[in-house]
Structure 1
Amino acid sequence: MIDASGGIAQYAVVSLKRYDTKTMPFGDILLAKGRPGSAEWITLMTAGGELDSATGNYLQNDVVVTERQR
């Protein structure tokens, strides 16, 4: 990723989890405890898992959390 100053920012994946779309704990994901406040994080949420062919919707979401490497 290129940061605001034009430098290259590298991130390492710290977790990859799959959640059921109906019970996905958004607050726990976005406001996770135990992450140092001084660290920079990117959280990506995307459709994943099984596709419900009747509705065209995925039944799960994949969540990737990354931490900037210095």
Structure 2
Amino acid sequence: MSVTQQYVLDTYRARQLGEPAPPAPGVHDRRVVRAWRDRRAFRAVVAERPARGRLRLALGRWLPPGPRSTP
């Protein structure tokens, strides 16, 4: 059963029981991703690690420096 089919079934059941309809799939995705990102940054700060730019720093340690353009 797909997510859409499950949502339609849940909406039908809620209407039959007189309950409020469930939120549509994907409504809270941005809020969840933002909360996850904030939590990850908070945990990095508590562990005394940089909260931003960690991927770039890690790649900078592993990859050789590339050619730099000069103006």
TM-score by length of 1: 0.24
More helix by share: 2
The structure number with the bigger radius of gyration is: 2
Higher strand fraction: Structure 1 or Structure 2? 1
